[in-house]
Structure 1
Amino acid sequence: MKKIALYTLITLFIFSCSNSKDGAQVDVDGDGTANAKKEAHLPEASGEPGEIVIVMNKKKYEGELGEAIKTVFREPVPGLTRTEPMFTIRIIEPFEFNRIFKLARNLVYVVSLEGNSAADKWLQGTFSESSKEMILNDPERYMQTSENQFARGQKVLQLFAKDDKTLINNLLENADAIQNYFNIAEKQRLADDLRMSTASRGIVNRVNDQLGISIKIPASYELAILEDDFMWARYLPSVGPSKNLFVYVKDYKSQEEFEEENIIKLRDEIGQKYIYGDPANPESYMITENKYMQPVFRNINFRDKYTVEMRGAWKTNNFSVGGTFVSYTFVDEQKGKLYYIEGFVIFPNEDHRELIREMESLLTTFRTT
């Protein structure tokens, strides 16, 4: 056989907000739906991928509330070979909230009704008196979202509670929902920026004809392998990260194929059959790293199908090269086929967080046809 070398439902709690003098809060329609600023002249949101600007009392950030914020937003990304936080956060106080920060792609206000400092008063002033009353009476309400408050493509989140203790508890108990709000936003931005070329559309058509599946392949990717059960497309720049996307399809046999050890076994079989790092050495092939770090698994819903997500590190069996990956394993019951789809990257000694997020964004374009 041919070989070749190498997002949880969010509960939204919406309140009426009063207009502050500098427009820092989110305006709300009378029907209770968060109303994003819609002026056509709004500038584009700016900032690095995965970056979040958090407006709060900095003294509170130095205490228990700050530790909760770090736990939520700086939780290590699972499955990476080096520790990287889920998001890069910048903490500012209201008096620092200038035009540059207002254009942030991801913006968070942390508001507790407890506190009398100038920063606390400013943040509390983003809510009307009736909104404050609702916060005081319902401690389970903790977040509100909106879009395009100061810039197009901006995501805004308000986190609030009657006091710091309640806010801390809500942050820790709902960390997944808060993280997912921005994870989904970042992956959607990547999907929106995805550009295809005539050549990449041609690859998509060939893969569709051969495997009966559709998956977006960006411009500059090349088709490395296309077989009756396998497709591998990759981006190999002269400088920078190598990005790889592959799909493997086989007859579905039993539920046991979803067991963690069997998914690793399947991945290693695919790697040995199709992918190796040294063209001059056919005995060099891709394997899953499970000695020094174990792959991380979780069950997700992907295209309304039960799916096992796996994240981790890979290497060649002769240790010539390695990197990180994310994969989805699921079944199309109508076709009786099991699909293993993966994105993996090569970028030694560099951060992989945004690269893996980009791979996730590509994987979510997968369809059976």
Structure 2
Amino acid sequence: MNKAHFLFLFVFLLIISCKKDDHVLARKTTGSINTISVIIDDQLWNGEIGDTIRNKFASPVVGLPQEEPLFTINQYPVKLMEGFMTDSRNIIVVKKEGKNKFEINKNQYASPQNVFHISGKTADDIIAIIEKNSSEIIKIIRQTEIEENQRINNKSQFKTKIITDKFHISLQIPSNYKYVFQESDFIWLKKEIVSGNTSLLIYQVPINAIKNDKNIVSNIIKMRDSIGELYIHGKEPDADMRTEEAYSPYFFKIKIDGKEAYETKGTWELKNDFMSGPFINYAIIDKENDRVLVLEGFCYSPSKEKRDLMHELESIIKSIQIIEK
């Protein structure tokens, strides 16, 4: 009888433990987009280790007209690790300990979550670990924040039937975007914000329009400038959108929806006008449909920071799925 009671108690405690674990994993992360909680004692934060963390994770975002940090960093001492900091989506824990270690824990306290554990015997050891792994950390956090923005966008989706019918694609677009202009091969969507607006362009061109390895960047710039001349105008005469010549665009070769694509980040301006802002352009090589599918986001927000506005546009564009005809 005692053995039976013991066995029953053991099974009961095991079930309760599993339910408790499930409850912990069910906790949802909180916090603003593009934010990192850095758990590190003040003594380390105020020295070379803190400088290294700031240089890596708060470096300027490429493609913006003014300097804005890659991530917003909130620092907390190690003793405050318990509590609301464990609900952050991105946590970097830095300690001086008896061994050198770099470890990534997914969903350690909540979901979705990245917890990066960095420890070292000396300050130089910790700095070396940060230097070695910062690129991977940034890549993981950026992907998590894109997915978080897409989750938010998915809650209140824009009706995209017109876009699907024209371009045979699906996109996760928030419902606060509105149609500004559309033609057979071109759509312009805009969202009004307190400080200005954000825009999304979708269009397609023949597949040979940019396919020249020696001149891809210049061909993309010519392509977007021709679109600006056709469709994007200011109030002044001849005030067409064009790529600002004073800043060289940033160019990357990437994959979107499994297809080769070119990412171009830079600054736009209205010719003969005062308006300007950042843009991000994706030219997707869609060989199956013999076209270059172009999605571009740009914003006008002269009095506000633009990092998170452009991040939302990037998240929308990267939600694309090309539908087979």
User: Would you call these one fold, judging by a TM-score over 0.5?
Assistant: yes
1:256 aligns with one of 180, 195, 212: 212
> How far is the alpha carbon of 1:98 from its aligned partner?
4.8
Question: Deviations 1:238-292 (Å, cap 9, x if unpaired)?
Answer: x3441211112111116317621111111111111111122xx45221111121x
- Cα distance in 2 between the residues matched to 1:72 and 1:97: 22
More strand by share: 2
- Cα distance in 2 between the residues matched to 1:40 and 1:142: 24
Matched, 1:284 2:284: no
Matched, 1:243 2:227: no
Matched, 1:222 2:222: no
Secondary structure in structure 1 of the residue aligned to 2:289: coil
- Segments of 4+ moved more than 6 angstroms: none
1:267 corresponds to: 224
- Cα distance in 2 between the residues matched to 1:183 and 1:323: 22
State whether residues 194 and 218 of structure 1, in contact with CA within 8 Å, keep that contact through their aligned partners in structure 2.
Answer: yes
- Cα distance in 2 between the residues matched to 1:170 and 1:343: 36
Question: Deviations 1:119-177 (Å, cap 9, x if unpaired)?
Answer: xxxxxxxxxxxxx5xx5xxxxx623122150x444432222345432332232233221
- Cα distance in 1 between the residues matched to 2:224 and 2:21: 47
TM-score when normalising by structure 1: 0.75
State whether residues 257 and 322 of structure 2, in contact with CA within 8 Å, keep that contact through their aligned partners in structure 1.
Answer: no
2:152 corresponds to: 193
Residues 37 and 285 of structure 1, relative CA distance in 2, 3 Å threshold: farther
> How far is the alpha carbon of 1:97 from its aligned partner?
3.2
Over the aligned positions, Cα root-mean-square deviation in angstroms equals 2.4
- Cα distance in 2 between the residues matched to 1:230 and 1:221: 16
Matched, 1:78 2:62: yes
- Cα distance in 2 between the residues matched to 1:38 and 1:347: 43
- Cα distance in 2 between the residues matched to 1:335 and 1:47: 41
> How far is the alpha carbon of 1:99 from its aligned partner?
2.2
Matched, 1:212 2:168: yes
> How far is the alpha carbon of 1:43 from its aligned partner?
5.0
- Cα distance in 1 between the residues matched to 2:57 and 2:204: 36
Question: Deviations 1:317-368 (Å, cap 9, x if unpaired)?
Answer: 1223221111111211111111221111111121111111111100012222
Secondary structure in structure 1 of the residue aligned to 2:93: strand
Q: More relative contact order in 1 or in 2 (CA 8 Å, sep 6+)?
A: 1
Alignment of 1:99-248 (within 5 A): 99-114=83-98, 135=100, 142-149=102-109, 151-195=110-154, 200-201=158-159, 204-237=160-193, 239-248=194-203
1:344 aligns with one of 295, 298, 321: 298
> How far is the alpha carbon of 1:39 from its aligned partner?
1.4
Return the letter of the residue paired with 1:220. N
Residues 259 and 270 of structure 1, relative CA distance in 2, 3 Å threshold: same
> How far is the alpha carbon of 1:42 from its aligned partner?
5.9
- Cα distance in 2 between the residues matched to 1:196 and 1:168: 40
> How far is the alpha carbon of 1:314 from its aligned partner?
1.0
State whether residues 65 and 267 of structure 2, in contact with CA within 8 Å, keep that contact through their aligned partners in structure 1.
Answer: yes
- Cα distance in 1 between the residues matched to 2:41 and 2:64: 32
Secondary structure in structure 2 of the residue aligned to 1:38: helix
1:298 corresponds to: 252
* Percent of aligned positions that are identical: 26
Return the letter of the residue paired with 1:306. E
More helix by share: 2
Return the letter of the residue paired with 2:216. E
- Cα distance in 1 between the residues matched to 2:60 and 2:279: 16
> How far is the alpha carbon of 1:41 from its aligned partner?
8.7
State whether residues 25 and 107 of structure 2, in contact with CA within 8 Å, keep that contact through their aligned partners in structure 1.
Answer: no
- Cα distance in 2 between the residues matched to 1:50 and 1:99: 20
State whether residues 37 and 148 of structure 1, in contact with CA within 8 Å, keep that contact through their aligned partners in structure 2.
Answer: no
State whether residues 240 and 270 of structure 2, in contact with CA within 8 Å, keep that contact through their aligned partners in structure 1.
Answer: yes
State whether residues 54 and 110 of structure 1, in contact with CA within 8 Å, keep that contact through their aligned partners in structure 2.
Answer: yes
> How far is the alpha carbon of 1:64 from its aligned partner?
2.2
Return the letter of the residue paired with 1:353. R
Residues 84 and 251 of structure 1, relative CA distance in 2, 3 Å threshold: same
Q: Which region of structure 1 is more displaced relative to structure 2, 71-80 or 316-325?
A: 316-325
Return the letter of the residue paired with 1:273. L
Gaps of 5+ in 2: 1-19
